[in-house]
Structure 1
Amino acid sequence: MRRAAADIDAFDASVRPVPRTADELLVLSTDQKGVVMRLEALWPATAEASRWQGYAAEATSSVRFLQERSIWGWTVRENMADFSRWCTMGTLVSIGDHRSGMLESYDDATGVATVVAIIPDAYAEPESLALLASRLGKEGVAKFLRNKLPTKPNARSGDMGEILATAYLHDECGYVVGPSRLIQRDHQEWAMRGDDVLGASLDSDGKPRITKAEAKSRVSLGEETVKEARKGLARNDELPSPHSLTQFAERLLPTADSRVGEAVLTMQLSDGVRPDRVGHLLFLFTASDPSTHVAADLKAYSGSVSQLTITLRVKGHQKFIKDAYDGVTTGGA
C-alpha cells in the first residue's frame, strides 16, 4: 500500500493538463471508490457525522413506539385514535335540530395501545421527542415525559377527555386540530383555562368553520356534569374565546396547516367570528350511559349554534386511563 502511494505526486504531475486554447474541447472523467474507514481514523467532523447516522438508525425504532403511523406531526396522520379499531360506532341520532352519538369500546387493550401512541404528541413538541429519541432512546423519552404528564388521577382523567375529544374532531369530523395546547401548560397537574378543544376546516371559498369543544371525563357521568359542560360551551356568547382562538391559530402557523391558521386569524381580526361559522362538540368520556341527560340537554338548548354530543363509553374507564399513561411513562415496555 505504501509503495503504491509513494508515486502519487509524480503521477499527478504527469497527467496535469497544460494550457489549451478556447477552440479545444476539455473533457473530464472521474472515478470514485468507497473504502471502509475506522472511526478513529476519520477527521473530527466526519466522525461526528458518522456517529449521528448511527443514532438516527437507533432512533427509527425508538420513535416507532411513540407513534406507529405518523412522522411527528398532526397533518400526516390518517387517524389519531382510530376509534373504529376498538369501538362500535353508533349511528348519529337527531334530537331536534341537533345530533348525538355513542361510541362503545369492545377492545380496551387496543384502545389503550392506540392512545399510548398519541399521548406524547399531546404534551411535547415533536422536535423535542425526536431529538431525545435519537440521543437517549425510548427510555430517555419516557423519563422526559414523566416530567410533563400529570400523575394525579383527576388531572389524567381531564386530560384524557381533551385528548380523545381532539382525536374525534380530527378523525371523525375531518377538522384541523393543530398542536396540542397541553404542550405549553405551566404545571403538569394544573387545569388549563380557556376552551378545551378547538378545530377548524375551510369551506370551498376558503372561509373557516370553527368547532368549539367541551370535554368531560367521569366514571359515572350524570346530569350535573352535562350541565357543567353546557355552561362551558355557553361562555363568551357561545363563541370561542378570543384568546383561545388566537393561540389556536398561532399554533397552526408554523405547521403544514398554516393556511387554516391564516384564515382563522383573518376571520377573527377582520370579519369577526359569527355564530353561523361556529359549531359545538360536547364530548363525554365515561363508563356510564348519560343518554337521558344528553337528550334532555339538546332538547332544552335554544341557541343558534349547531350542536353535536358524543359519548365514548369505556367500562374500565379508570383502568383505561391508568394503563394508557403508564404505557408512556414506562418507555413503551
Structure 2
Amino acid sequence: MVQFNDWCDSAFTPVGNHHVRVMTGRPADLALGQQLTAAAVPTHYTSKERITGALSRLGKTAAAKMLTDLLPQTQQIRSGDLGEIYATEWIEAHSGYRAPIKRLRWKDHRNMAMRGEDVIGMILDPATQRLRFLKTEAKSRIDLRSQTLEEARTGLDKDGGLPSSHALSFISARLLDLGTDAPLVDAIDEALYRHGIPPDSVKHLLFTFSGNSPQALLIKALQTYPGPIEQWGVGLHVNEHAAFIGAVYDQVIADANQP
C-alpha cells in the first residue's frame, strides 16, 4: 500500500453535499513517498504470483527484465498510469469501497493509455445485498487546470453518470478469469441483468495527481456540478511532479535489479 498518511498532510473541505480532500506531499517525506509508491507499482502491472514464479524459474535477471518490459517508457504514460494507481490505492485504503481489479495488468501496450472508465469502486450494501459503486476518473498533470477537470466531468457523466455496462462486464470477466471472487462476479451480473443500477447507488470520485494545488479547482468543479450524484474530489499534490514520477519508476527498476 502507498500509505498516503505517512508522507502527506491531508485537508478536508465540505462543498455542499459533496466534499474535497487534498493530500499534499511533505517535502521532507517525499523520498519515503517514492519508496512506498515504488513498492506498490509492480503489482499494478502484474501479479505477485507471476513475479515470484519468474524468479524461481528464470532467475533474478530475467524476472527483472520481465517486470521492466511491462513498465511504460514515456513520461506522459507513466504520469497517467501513476494517477490511476494512486486512485486505486486511495479507494482501497480510504474510501470504504473496493477496487476489485488492478486494471493496468490488461493494457494493450505499455506505452498506450487504457480506454474506458479509470477505476470503479464497489461495495456490497449489507442492508440490500446489492452493489454500490464509486465511478472514478483519475487525472495526472504537472499543471492542473480547469479544462482537465471538465474532461473528467465528461467521463463521469457518461451513461447517465452510472458505471457503463462495458466496464462492469470487463471487471466481471477478469474476476472470473482470476477465479478470486465468484460472489462479486454474481453481484455484478445481478446489477447488470436483473436489478439495474439506480443513481442513488452511485457516487463519483474525481481524483487528481498534480504539481500544483488542486484545491480551488476541485472545489469549483464540485460547486458547479448540477446533477444528483454525490461527488468526491480527491487531489494528491506533489511538488516537482515530473521528477517525482521519474524517481518512482527509476526506483521500481532499481529494486527489480537488486542482487
> Would you say same fold, with TM above 0.5?
yes
Report the CA distance shift for 1:258/1:115 in structure 2 as closer, same or farther (over 3 A). Answer: farther
Post-superposition shift, 1:137?
4.0
1:1-333 correspondence to structure 2 within 5 Å:
80-90=1-11, 92-106=12-26, 107-205=29-127, 206-253=129-176, 254=178, 256-330=180-254, 331=256, 333=258
User: After superposition, what is the alpha-carbon deviation per residue over 1:191-235, rounded to whole angstroms, capped at 9, x for unaligned?
Assistant: 111100111011113211111110000111011111111111111
**What is the rounded CA distance, in whole Å, between the counterparts of 1:320 and 1:140 in structure 2?**
27
Aligned mates of 1:164, 1:138 — CA distance in 2: 28
- Please give the secondary structure, in 1, of the residue aligned with 2:134: strand
**Partners of 2:185 and 2:242 in 1: CA distance:** 35
Considering only CA atoms, is the larger Rg found in Structure 1 or Structure 2? Answer: 1
Name the CA distance, whole Å, in 2 between partners of 1:287 and 1:264.
Answer: 36
- How far did 1:171 drift? 0.4
Give 1:265 deviation, angstroms. Answer: 1.8
CA contact (8 A) 1:176 1:257 kept: no
Question: Structure 2 CA distance, aligned partners of 1:250 and 1:89?
Answer: 36
CA-CA distance at 1:299 after TM superposition = 1.1
Question: In the alignment, is the contact (CA less than 8 A) between 2:16 and 2:223 conserved in 1?
Answer: yes
Partner of 1:5: none
Question: Unpaired segments of 5 or more residues in structure 1?
Answer: 1-79
Cα distance in 1 between the residues matched to 2:181 and 2:91: 16
Deviation at 1:255, TM superposition (A): 5.1
CA contact (8 A) 2:77 2:112 kept: yes
CA RMSD for the aligned pairs?
1.5
Return the structure number with greater relative CO, CA threshold 8 A, min gap 6: 2
Paired amino acid for 1:112: Q
Q: For 1:263 and 1:196, locate their aligned partners in 2 and report how far apart those are by CA, in whole Å.
A: 20
Inter-partner Cα distance in structure 2 for 1:137 and 1:311: 40
Q: Which has the higher strand share?
A: 2
Preserved CA contact (<8 Å) 1:200 1:208: yes
